[in-house]
Amino acid sequence: MQQKTLLIECPDSKGLIAQITNICYKHQLNITRNTEYVDPLTGRFYMRTQLEGIFNDETLLFDLDRALPIGSERSLVGNDRKKVVILVTKEAHCLGDILIKVFDGSLPLDILAVIGNHANLQQLTEKFDIPFHFISHEQLSREAHEAQLMAKIAEYKPDYLVLAKFMRVLSPAFVKQYPNRIINIHHSFLPAFIGANPYRQAFERGVKIIGATAHFVTDDLDEGPIIKQMVTNVDHNYSAQDMAKAGRDVEKNVLSKALQQVVEDRVFVHGNKTVIL
Amino acid sequence: MQQKTLLIECPDSKGLIAQITNICYKHQLNITRNTEYVDPLTGRFYMRTQLEGIFNDETLLFDLDRALPIGSERSLVGNDRKKVVILVTKEAHCLGDILIKVFDGSLPLDILAVIGNHANLQQLTEKFDIPFHFISHEQLSREAHEAQLMAKIAEYKPDYLVLAKFMRVLSPAFVKQYPNRIINIHHSFLPAFIGANPYRQAFERGVKIIGATAHFVTDDLDEGPIIKQMVTNVDHNYSAQDMAKAGRDVEKNVLSKALQQVVEDRVFVHGNKTVIL
Amino acid sequence: MQQKTLLIECPDSKGLIAQITNICYKHQLNITRNTEYVDPLTGRFYMRTQLEGIFNDETLLFDLDRALPIGSERSLVGNDRKKVVILVTKEAHCLGDILIKVFDGSLPLDILAVIGNHANLQQLTEKFDIPFHFISHEQLSREAHEAQLMAKIAEYKPDYLVLAKFMRVLSPAFVKQYPNRIINIHHSFLPAFIGANPYRQAFERGVKIIGATAHFVTDDLDEGPIIKQMVTNVDHNYSAQDMAKAGRDVEKNVLSKALQQVVEDRVFVHGNKTVIL
Amino acid sequence: MQQKTLLIECPDSKGLIAQITNICYKHQLNITRNTEYVDPLTGRFYMRTQLEGIFNDETLLFDLDRALPIGSERSLVGNDRKKVVILVTKEAHCLGDILIKVFDGSLPLDILAVIGNHANLQQLTEKFDIPFHFISHEQLSREAHEAQLMAKIAEYKPDYLVLAKFMRVLSPAFVKQYPNRIINIHHSFLPAFIGANPYRQAFERGVKIIGATAHFVTDDLDEGPIIKQMVTNVDHNYSAQDMAKAGRDVEKNVLSKALQQVVEDRVFVHGNKTVIL
């Protein structure tokens, strides 16, 4: 008995669920979990179906393709662990949390490599027997630096890039290489405090709650589809540094929760939004 | 175009979703929202399907009954507002919140009457032109008091009874009249602090979080299926009275959120648990 | 035995707490609760002291004034209930929550009157035997409308104005009449989604958390000192209307929590921030 | 300029704050932060005062001792990092979180050693160059095992013992050695689900929220003074295993937050409660 997940995204039409589940039934596949969503504004249909049985991928997909409307996207994914490359700068908390969770088995993914534009996290990474590549941006143009990053990443062929407090803005040319496959943690409750030094901004504004946002990276800085947000309370006792410190716990938690949803193939992207099934 | 919700609960079997959605399709009903759940331990299947179209209830249910396995329960509910009778004692916050929400249209239900074993809330209830019945328990045996309550409730034929801080324990004989139709708010984060004076218990224990629980009432005191729980932080500055006060906000919020889910036909009960679709 | 609260705000200097508490001791007043805060950036000292005893206000304040540095503000407030006038437009949830809480005694303040620029909430207000004044803005310039509002408010001499979903922007001239005495509920998690229709903005952005903010009103729209913020989770299932509905519960809760802190004389304002002791 | 924290706990009496802050003032010490609390039920006074200046500990404490009532406890602590020994069994998440936070400097304490009754976490501990001692309980009586633990702990003279998912109940004899110095993480929202396998219990009960509790260990199992509690939402989709997994994130967060408060000397214990200043 194998387990696979069927992911479908297409224009909505009457009878879609019946047609899709019929095909699964005909292939003698048992549905262990099924979730759908129709966006009432766009008329877009999303479905995630966990299946169990003996799979003939080719004929199953062939039958689906005949049934699904034009403009459909579908995929049948096995439960192989997703492969990621992590980009970091200096802060250890997000990387550390992912390392521990992968180490203890609670986050089922493979970290192929960690790349830093500073060398600070080399020691931590190598404790877990994961290759660390130090690719400094100093003395380099953005293009030259990103070319080095892309060359190194290409060696690993990751499913996803994770920006675990990577403090550099990526160019559209870079982002285009990995559409909806770069996950960033932004250290604010977006869209509040876009841009640099959000904890300083939050402090200046005197907010009573701070947060963090995990999102896919698009060309528009801090404007990509949001996967997960979490917050924590602060008060007048918090300096900007205290807010940053309290925020670090939120950041690591929200990033690893977002990664969990991504590696479980729960996250659909449409426009600048996510549908999480 | 009408809108109805199909509720199905039955033993799981292969192809169930396909069969059910096929029948809907055959009846030219559009599925606007569909949620299912299979309990992996009990093998019980739950499905809630929002449908849109021209309904022939009789033939639709006939087709479903032929398709569904033995031991199925199904119903097709229109979107009439649910009718409730509310039982209270002295505290105004839960009743008040429901009155306001019904008044402003955000909680779509009809309050047929409020019954109190004290008269304190008569004035508040009548402000909203809802009948209030004062049925004192004093000088009466439990049986005699409950007989009076049941007689009065029977006049109204409610879909649900809501215990909005009704501080009397109901007998099994009473509860049996309204299986899974009595919703209570318990002023603790069950199963912590079962029984009397939970805020006093919470205070004595020195907890840092208190909560409240909305649940269906069963014979076992405080042991019925939980619908919703919410919590709030407290600290050493809170006296037992302060905890009770902080708790009142949680209580009213959790009760009205639970009612919202119930009146939207989202809550299935199986054994002492709820499945909320 | 009387109970009063001493509020002091002044430039910090060595020995301040000793001097102040000495004076209280000399006056044979017992400190039942004391909280101080020094803002490390501005060097501003804040102190809130709950006192119990026989008060001679004049000599106590005289002694304090001799001891406190230049630039101090101090007040000694009894525990009279604060008097408020509430301004509303059409939505009932915030007003309703305050009405119920004042009715059941959990929010210790006196509502002198409710003023609406629409008449929708007249019926609700009058249920609680509180005067409602309908002052339409139609056919009037902003100045003319505000002049009518101010004239009516002046009749009541309130301690605070509460904007309970009053959907009009107040002019600087109006705001200047009530410095740090106008409390507004903004239907977003400020500073995200400043301005009109924040739930629509939140929906467009695809956020996973929405919130509300209670703040003092200053000349800068949505930029006044924040008193309290609260949030709730949303997901892709929420339409803009669903977000607004979920937000209403947050709005009413955050507004009444902020009012609670204000009427307990806990909220100090300095610049565009609050210190809550 | 040195920084120290003065901790005082004593029976309340009039003028205490004035007397204590006067003494600090006389010693030319600047109060950078001061918090007090009087328990209204026990009449117990707690005060935590952060001081800055040139300290003569002996004369300062001498002056305080003359001023404080009988039954006072006071201490003047420098800001040396607290030293801890961590006890573990098999689960990595709590230990891992502490290791990362100490590594990146966000949790200011020194881990002297980790002791496990299983060897599973030896590899993880040693990655961070911290000694790991495997002291199996197998083939040993509880007394014999605890004797070995105590002997090993005694070599390190820690300020605190941290039970980071140490799955053995400690005897009263052991606990007595470290009064209010053993911090445990209990994997439930105490007092719900005392005892073994709380996630299984939570699952059986069908709760909608689970939590974790950090507390000092006393003779009564799971009854010690609570330092911190945190919760997370669950629903019918969660198996007992899913709840345990969701709970692990809560556990690690609540334990490290509690440790943070303990190492900052904020936590007072009185009876079975904590006062956190």
CATH number, domain at D57?
Answer: 3.30.70.260
Nearest CA in chain D to B215: D207
Looking at the predicted structure, is the pLDDT value of residue C194 above 80?
A: no
Q: Which two tokens stand for residue C243?
A: 């977000």
- With beta carbons under 8 A apart, name residues in chain D contacting C231: none
- With beta carbons under 8 A apart, name residues in chain D contacting B228: 208
Statement to judge: residues C21 and C86 lie in one domain? no
Give D226's strand partners: D215
**Does the distance separating the beta carbons of A103 and D93 come in below 8 Å?**
no
pLDDT of residue C100: 96
Statement to judge: residues C142 and C238 lie in one domain? yes
- Within 13 Å of residue D56, how many CA atoms lie on the same side as its CB? 8
Provide the mean pLDDT of chain D: 94
Q: Which two tokens stand for residue D98?
A: 């502490």
Average pLDDT over residues D49-71: 96
Answer whether C62 touches D (CB < 8 Å): no
Is residue A65 within 8 A of residue A74, CB to CB? The reply is: yes
Collapsing DSSP to helix, strand or coil, A202 comes out as helix
Percent of residues in chain B assigned helix, strand, coil, to nearest 5? 35, 30, 35
Statement to judge: residues A51 and A172 lie in one domain? no
Query: Tens of pLDDT along C195-236?
Result: 778 888 889 899 999 999 999 999 876 789 999 999 999 999
What is the percent of chain D with per-residue pLDDT over 70, rounded to a whole number?
100
**D106 Cα to chain B: minimum distance (Å):** 24
CATH number where B159 lies: 3.40.50.170
Answer whether D17 touches C (CB < 8 Å): yes
- With beta carbons under 8 A apart, name residues in chain C contacting D33: 38
Nearest CA in chain C to D35: C35
pLDDT of residue B69: 94
Looking at the predicted structure, is the pLDDT value of residue B256 above 90?
A: yes
Domain that holds residue C199: 82-276
Of D53, D77, D101, the residue that ends a domain is D77
Looking at the predicted structure, is the pLDDT value of residue A192 above 90?
A: no
Nearest CA in chain B to C95: B100
Answer whether D128 touches A (CB < 8 Å): yes
**Does the distance separating the beta carbons of B189 and D209 come in below 8 Å?**
yes
- Within 13 Å of residue A93, how many CA atoms lie on the same side as its CB? 20
Mutate to test the interface with A, among C9, C209, C253, C267 (most CBs of A within 10 A): C209
Answer whether A253 touches D (CB < 8 Å): yes
Collapsing DSSP to helix, strand or coil, D256 comes out as helix
Amino acid identity of D52? Answer: E
Q: Is the peptide bond before B69 cis (omega within 30 degrees of 0)?
A: no
**Does the distance separating the beta carbons of D273 and B236 come in below 8 Å?**
yes
Q: What angle do CA B115, B121, B126 make, to 5 degrees?
A: 80
Partners of chain A (3+ Cβ pairs below 8 A):
B, C, D
Answer whether B21 touches A (CB < 8 Å): yes
Provide the mean pLDDT of chain B: 94
pLDDT of residue A35: 93
**Does the distance separating the beta carbons of B39 and D236 come in below 8 Å?**
yes
Statement to judge: residues C144 and C267 lie in one domain? yes
| Distance separating alpha carbons of residues C214 and C183, to the nearest angstrom | 7
B&D contacts, CB < 8 Å: 75
Nearest CA in chain D to A128: D127
- Cβ count near A77 (within 10 Å): 11
Answer whether A194 touches B (CB < 8 Å): no
Looking at the predicted structure, is the pLDDT value of residue A198 above 90?
A: no
What is the percent of chain A with per-residue pLDDT over 70, rounded to a whole number?
100
Answer whether B16 touches D (CB < 8 Å): no
Answer whether C106 touches B (CB < 8 Å): yes
- Picking from A142, A147, A180, the residue whose alpha carbon sits closest to that of residue A161 is A180
Active-site residue, selected from the candidate residues B222, B242, B249, B265 = B222
The pTM of the full predicted model, rounded to 2 decimals, is 0.95
Query: Tens of pLDDT along C103-148?
Result: 999 999 999 999 999 999 999 999 999 999 999 999 999 999 999 9
Instruction: Specify the residue for token string 């005197």.
Output: A206
Q: Which two tokens stand for residue C68?
A: 């406190």
**Does the distance separating the beta carbons of C274 and A236 come in below 8 Å?**
yes
- With beta carbons under 8 A apart, name residues in chain D contacting C21: 15, 17-18, 21
Statement to judge: residues B147 and B258 lie in one domain? yes
Residues of D annotated as part of the active site: 222
Statement to judge: residues B73 and B94 lie in one domain? no
What is the 8-class DSSP label of residue B80?
P
- Cβ count near C201 (within 10 Å): 18
Is residue D95 within 8 A of residue D88, CB to CB? The reply is: yes
Structural domain count, chain A: 2
Of B46, B77, B108, the residue that ends a domain is B77
pLDDT of residue A191: 76
- Cβ count near C179 (within 10 Å): 11
Answer whether A36 touches B (CB < 8 Å): yes
Nearest CA in chain A to D94: A100
Looking at the predicted structure, is the pLDDT value of residue C177 above 90?
A: yes
pLDDT of residue D223: 81
| Distance separating alpha carbons of residues C121 and C142, to the nearest angstrom | 22
Q: Report chain B's terminal Cα–Cα distance, integer Å.
A: 24
pLDDT of residue D84: 98
**Does the distance separating the beta carbons of D190 and B272 come in below 8 Å?**
no
Residues of A annotated as part of the active site: 222
Q: Which of D206, D226, D237 sits opposite B208 (nearest CB)?
A: D226
Answer whether D32 touches C (CB < 8 Å): yes
Is residue D106 within 8 A of residue D98, CB to CB? The reply is: no
pLDDT of residue B4: 97
What is the 8-class DSSP label of residue C121?
T
> Strands, E, within chain D: which ranges?
2-11, 30-39, 44-53, 73-77, 82-88, 109-116, 132-134, 160-163, 182-186, 209-216, 226-233, 267-270, 273-276
Answer whether A101 touches D (CB < 8 Å): yes
Instruction: Specify the residue for token string 């979080």.
Output: B209
Average pLDDT over residues A111-115: 98
Statement to judge: residues D26 and D92 lie in one domain? no
Of A50, A77, A104, the residue that ends a domain is A77
Statement to judge: residues A22 and A143 lie in one domain? no
Say which range, A101-105, A262-266, C273-277, D220-224, has the weakest mean pLDDT: D220-224
**Does the distance separating the beta carbons of A229 and C207 come in below 8 Å?**
yes
Query: Tens of pLDDT along B187-197?
Result: 887 777 777 78
| Distance separating alpha carbons of residues C225 and C191, to the nearest angstrom | 11
Is residue C165 within 8 A of residue C229, CB to CB? The reply is: no
Query: Tens of pLDDT along B40-94?
Result: 899 999 999 999 999 999 999 999 999 999 999 999 999 899 999 999 999 999 9
Nearest CA in chain A to D107: A245
- Output b/e per residue, B97-114; b: 16+ Cβ within 10 A: bbbbbbbbebbebebbbb
Q: Residues near A202 by Cβ (< 8 Å), separated by ≥ 6?
A: A188, A192, A193, A210, A234, A240, A243
**C269 Cα to chain A: minimum distance (Å):** 11
- Within 13 Å of residue D136, how many CA atoms lie on the same side as its CB? 5
Looking at the predicted structure, is the pLDDT value of residue D220 above 80?
A: no
Statement to judge: residues A105 and A149 lie in one domain? yes
**Does the distance separating the beta carbons of A128 and D128 come in below 8 Å?**
no
| Distance separating alpha carbons of residues A24 and A51, to the nearest angstrom | 8
Statement to judge: residues C51 and C148 lie in one domain? no
Would you call B222 a catalytic residue per the annotation? yes
Statement to judge: residues B125 and B65 lie in one domain? no
pLDDT of residue B198: 85
Q: Which two tokens stand for residue B221?
A: 């005191």
**Does the distance separating the beta carbons of B205 and D226 come in below 8 Å?**
yes
What confidence category does residue A126 fall into, taking pLDDT thresholds of 50, 70 and 90?
very high
**Does the distance separating the beta carbons of C124 and B103 come in below 8 Å?**
yes
Active-site residue, selected from the candidate residues C39, C63, C97, C222 = C222
A&B contacts, CB < 8 Å: 37
**C160 Cα to chain B: minimum distance (Å):** 23
Q: Report chain D's terminal Cα–Cα distance, integer Å.
A: 24
Statement to judge: residues B137 and B168 lie in one domain? yes
Answer whether B48 touches D (CB < 8 Å): no
Collapsing DSSP to helix, strand or coil, B176 comes out as helix
pLDDT of residue A170: 94
